[in-house]
Amino acid sequence: MSDDTPTAPRAGEDVIRAFVRTLPASPGVYRMLDAAGEVIYVGKARSLKARVTNYTRPEANPIRIQRMIAVTHSMEFVRTETESEALLLEANLIKRLRPRFNVLLRDDKSFPYILIATDHEAPELVKHRGSRRRQGHYFGPFASATAVARTIASLQKAFLLRNCTQSFYAARQRPCLQFQIKRCAGPCTREISLEDYGGLVDEAKEFLSGKSSKVRDHMQRDMNIAAEALDFERAALLRDRLSALALIQSQGETGRTVEEADVFAIHHEAGQFCVQVFFFRNWQNWGNHAFRPRADPELTDAEVLEAFIAQFYEGHTPPRLVLLSHELAEAALLTEALSSRLGRKVTIEIPQRGEKRDLVNHALNNAREALGRQLAEGANQKTLLEGVADIFGLDEVPRRIEVYDNSHISGTNAVGGMIVAGEEGFSKKHYRTFNIKNTELSPGDDFGMMREVLTRRFTRLTTESDDDAEDESTGMPDWPDVVFIDGGAGQLSAVRGVIAELNLQKEVIFIGIAKGEERDAGREKFFMEGREAFMLPHRDPVLYYVQRLRDEAHRFAIGTHRAKRKKDQIKNPLDEIEGIGPTRKRALLNHFGSAKAVGRASLTDLEAVPTISKAMALLVYDHFNRS
């Protein structure tokens, strides 16, 4: 692959014509750039020369393409060996650069997997998300982390595989609670031999690979043998394991003819698109997820679906079979690209009958219903935002509302929370937390905490974001139109001081919400600059909406504070010793079993620990024996 990037200062058709003269008739990827140097479109071609030549005749292209040509000031090109290589590179660049004229996969997420990690003498069963760096067997994807947790809990009952960390495993001198409640076979203390434990691991792999009937029959046979030998304890254990297997298999609908497939269906309405994806593995439905790609309404369902799939598999491993609701123009090329990515043949089908067609229709109905719900919620949300603009005297309907709240206990573990809402409801991607850093604040100084939070928030906005900047993936503006503060006139006064110091160029409306008498919901008072404090009618929908915003900010701030407090409470004393990193900490815990035992150890005992020098042993000893 070679990079060939000429430069041209002119814009529009003339720029494109200048590039066409030097382009090769070979596969590759091209990028169109605007006057600011931002990539506005990424495309791939079997012949770069032929494809880019089409842009020199704007009148033959749709309005969307004509707009794109008009703002093009330069182009960049990358030649590839094959067209399928160009397709994969195009998907990678679109996902990374997010050009505004491409179909964009929004709300992309990494799906969880079940991992049987084999990088240890006793393999462990864990949930995994992200890149597959760890050695082991991966099963998935699952659309829901909750489904993974539920399945792992049942797998532990069925196969008694451990899920503890390696340091916890190494420090055990007697079986833990998981062994006592029959969720683990206890390989750490050799309650089971490693050879027999390996047999349990093999059974779990076979079950997750689809050979459930073989595993179940083997267990049933062993249970009958144990019962005939009057070994009722073992028979009861095997009975419980069989029950756990039955529970796992009952959690999802099964497919009679589909062992491994991803099912894609797309629906569009009111200029918006929804792609529903179902995952089938080992003849079972492992969940589904609705995506809402950003695309020009002029594009067809097939065009959006084709672009979506290429980007989707940029971050996910394709299965052997992909079922689609629409015929793709370049299905053969996509098949070739996915097969090269997987390292074995991938088949793309648009089924017309049978169970496969039923699965596609089911996904299509889900896409239709999901988009319908979104449009209905959006219409309701729009009405509420119009109500906010009317009641609080805004010039325009707000696109971004921010709500702030603080949480602490007598000033300890103090955090500030910011939640964001807009046209599509709460935007949790944009939530932020602020650890209160000012050590000079008196305990419980809510005004001071709010000053710090808003100063940090708007200083960063002023220095890093333009007035009209927005999130490419969601369309959410960077700057808020309205900011609600949990508090009354005092909190609002603290906010005014911050705003005066920062001298913001962009107008932002700040509103304080004071709780009603005896904290009675429905009797809140609102404070705004230039207006007397006022209340809203008791049954006003906007009042309910603002209460929901405030309660969400309160929930988020308290949740963050509790998580921080819990982390401090379970902090290991060894973390406080300078020079004790993860390796030395692990060595000490493995040797003594607990931090408490390390604190009671003598200097001689500490020096006997591998990787702990005499100087480090003295440091540890002094930390626990300062008195």
User: In terms of residue numbers, what domain contains 292?
Assistant: 261-372
CA 387-392-396 angle, 5° bins:
70
411 and 537 housed in the same domain:
yes
Contact 270, 374 (CB under 8 A): no
Q: Residues 238, 182: one domain? A: yes
Residue 446 located in a structural domain: yes
- Tell me, yes or no, whether 509 and 562 share the same domain: yes
> What domain count does the chain have?
5
Q: Which of 372, 392, 409 is the last residue of a domain?
A: 372
For residue 619, give the CATH number of its domain. 1.10.150.20
Does residue 102 form part of some domain? no
- pLDDT-based confidence at residue 401 (cuts at 50, 70, 90): very high
Query: Which pLDDT band holds residue 40 (cuts at 50, 70, 90)?
Result: very high
Shared domain for 591 and 513, answered yes or no, is no
Asked if the model's pLDDT at residue 284 lies above 60, the reply is: yes
pLDDT at 570 over 50: yes
Please indicate, yes or no, whether residues 492 and 541 belong to a single structural domain of this protein.
yes
Residues 162 and 46 occupy one common structural domain: no
| Boundary residue ending a domain (218, 249, 280) | 249
In a domain, 384, yes or no: no
Q: Who wins on pLDDT, 222 or 537?
A: 537
Rama region for 427: left / alpha / beta (φ>0; ψ in -120 to 50; rest) = beta
CA distance 331 to 347: 10
CATH number of the CATH domain containing 500: 3.30.420.340
Would you say residue 293 lies in a domain?
yes
Q: Are residues 268 and 333 in the same domain?
A: yes
pLDDT surpassing 50 at residue 190: yes
Cβ–Cβ under 8 Å, residues 115 and 136:
yes
Does the residue 378 lie in any domain? no
Query: 344 in a domain, yes or no?
Result: yes
Assess whether 579 and 550 both reside in one domain.
no
Rounded CA-CA distance 546/551 in Å is 9
Q: Indicate if 438 and 537 belong to the same structural domain.
A: yes
H or E stretch including 207? helix 194-208
Q: What does the pLDDT look like over 479-492, one tens digit per residue? A: 999 999 887 888 88
In a domain, 379, yes or no: no
Query: Does one domain contain both 241 and 271?
Result: no
| pLDDT higher than threshold 50 for residue 5 | no
Which of 73, 97, 121 is the last residue in one of the domains? Answer: 97
User: pLDDT per residue over 41-95, tens digit each?
Assistant: 999 998 999 889 988 887 777 888 888 888 898 888 999 888 888 888 888 888 8
pTM: 0.64
- Is residue 192 domain-shared with residue 231, that is, in the same domain? yes
Whether 244 and 367 map to the same domain: the answer is no
* % of the chain surpassing 90 pLDDT: 13
What local confidence, expressed as pLDDT, does residue 275 receive? Answer: 92
Position 218 in a domain:
yes
